[in-house]
Structure 1
Amino acid sequence: MASSSAELIAFLLVISGWVLVSSTLPTDYWKVSSIDGTVITTATFWSNLWKTCVTDSTGVSNCKDFPSMLALDGYIQACRGLMIAAVCLGFFGSICALVGMKCTKVGGSDQTKAKIACLAGLIFILCGLSAMTGCSLYANRITSEFFDPTFIAQKYELGAALFIGWAGSSLCIIGGSIFCFSMAENNKTPRMGYVYNTAASAVSTRTKAYKDSTDFITPKASPKHFDKNVYV
């Protein structure tokens, strides 16, 4: 029962983390223009993995998609690949988690389901690591440009999508680790000891019943003492 509850909690964690990681891809604010040192702010610049936009003081946004994937900076291409890989891994991990959980009717024996659950945990750990690496790589570029005194172009700050991605990747790693530990919990041997005790008790019960039946069929004869004149 404890293992089933742990698997259910792990499943909720990994699904929540996967949803958060997936939601970062269409999120607009991966980086937002900084107002540090600016006296008058008439526009806000922001961008994500797919486009760059500017919003004026009236709230009107003008966006421009990145013209070519091959012309992008290397860190944006790497972040795209890592985030897409994290979403794909989360999809396959969800299927393996559903099959490997004890509360489902598919997957075969308990040992097979435990192995599938461990595989789902490893997949979700990879999903979390991929998403965390992508968000950290993007954040590292923002912070390095922000604190670089020789960088004179527009400086940016961390957007909301990065924090959502970090939260989702953390949930995936925690839930995947619980799935992996559930396999170790299932491989313990109290069940074998329980079967052995049952078999031993059954053997002892049968032996006792056999003895009782033997005693009933052939009762023990009381010792006889013959007198010396018995044949007379």
Structure 2
Amino acid sequence: MSATMLQTTGFVSGVIGTTGVFAATLMDVWCARNQQEHKLTSVYTYKGLWKDCEVSSSGFTECQALYSHLNYSDLLQAIRALLVVAILVSMIAVFIGFFCLKCLKMRNMALLTRAKLMLSAGIMFIIAGLCDISGASVYADQIVPSFTTSPYNQKQGEKGGVQCANGMGGIDSFASKYTFGPALYIAWVGGALLLLGGILKCIAFKRMQT
């Protein structure tokens, strides 16, 4: 594959990955209460990075924004920060990568300058992808303890890890079990595309040098 094709493919992959990370960060369904366990309840609960939502049997949805930085764990704040950093860095990489595309006729830009910009965009894509995957993986890791927590060992389960229900988005007195939401999968896919785009751009830089 030529350097131009690698550069273009890496740029497109980075743009799609950036869009995915941005969408996942804004989505509310990062974790959802397992309905198989609560078929008789009339409330469906799902949680995100910025708000908690409940859907009643009548279909009415009520969400509570998580504006306070004191009522929720520092871990949630760290996950938010990782996702926001991933968005900012990837958007800068997209901006730089657009202007160093070979299909754009930039008369005043030397080939060496274009290659260095392409390498910088590739490294930024990789950094953004690592931040995104790290944040999503940490969030997913906090959901896992809820699978082994019951109303009888709720306090014991809290010691093993921060639950989605308790530590990162409010208090669930019934120690409900939560599952991965679609936002988590979108964040993982977006991070993988960012890594792929960054690697392809770095390979293209190497090809241009040789």
- TM-score bin (small chain): 0.7 to 0.9
With the length of structure 2 as denominator, give the TM-score of the two structures. 0.84
What percentage of aligned pairs have identical amino acids? 28
**1:88 positional shift:** 0.2
2:179 to 135, 149, 157: 157
Answer with 102-111 or 4-13: which moved more.
Answer: 102-111
Which structure has the bigger radius of gyration? Answer: 1
- Find the counterpart in structure 2 of residue 60 from structure 1: 60
Q: Which runs of 5+ in 2 are unaligned?
A: 155-173
Secondary structure at 1:52 match in 2: strand
**1:71 positional shift:** 2.5
C-alpha separation in 2, matches of 1:155 and 1:114: 50
Could you give the per-residue CA deviations for residues 103-155 of structure 1, whole angstroms, max 9, x where no partner exists? 22337211221111011000000111111111111111011222245235222
- Find the counterpart in structure 1 of residue 103 from structure 2: 103
Question: Superposition pairs for residues 3-14 of structure 1, below 5 Å?
Answer: 3-14=3-14
**Is contact 1:102–1:110 with CA below 8 Å preserved after alignment?**
no
Amino acid at match of 2:12: L
Could you give the per-residue CA deviations for residues 39-86 of structure 1, whole angstroms, max 9, x where no partner exists? 413110111111111101121111111251132112211111011001
Could you give the per-residue CA deviations for residues 148-184 of structure 1, whole angstroms, max 9, x where no partner exists? 4523522211100000000000000001100001111
C-alpha separation in 1, matches of 2:67 and 2:126: 34
Is 1:119 the counterpart of 2:120 in the alignment? yes
Is 1:137 the counterpart of 2:159 in the alignment? no
**Is contact 2:130–2:191 with CA below 8 Å preserved after alignment?**
yes
- Find the counterpart in structure 2 of residue 214 from structure 1: none
Question: Superposition pairs for residues 1-232 of structure 1, below 5 Å?
Answer: 2-106=2-106, 108-148=109-149, 150-151=153-154, 153-188=175-210
Amino acid at match of 1:138: Y
**1:11 positional shift:** 0.9
**Is contact 2:100–2:117 with CA below 8 Å preserved after alignment?**
yes
Equivalenced residue count is 188
Amino acid at match of 1:16: I
Answer with 17-26 or 105-114: which moved more.
Answer: 105-114
Secondary structure at 1:25 match in 2: helix
Secondary structure at 1:181 match in 2: helix
Secondary structure at 2:58 match in 1: coil
**Cα 1:179–1:49 shift into 2, 3 Å:** same
Answer with 13-22 or 153-162: which moved more.
Answer: 153-162
RMSD over aligned CA atoms reads 1.6
With the length of structure 1 as denominator, give the TM-score of the two structures. 0.76
C-alpha separation in 2, matches of 1:69 and 1:50: 11
| Higher RCO structure, 1 or 2 (CA under 8 Å, sep 6+) | 2
**Cα 1:96–1:70 shift into 2, 3 Å:** same
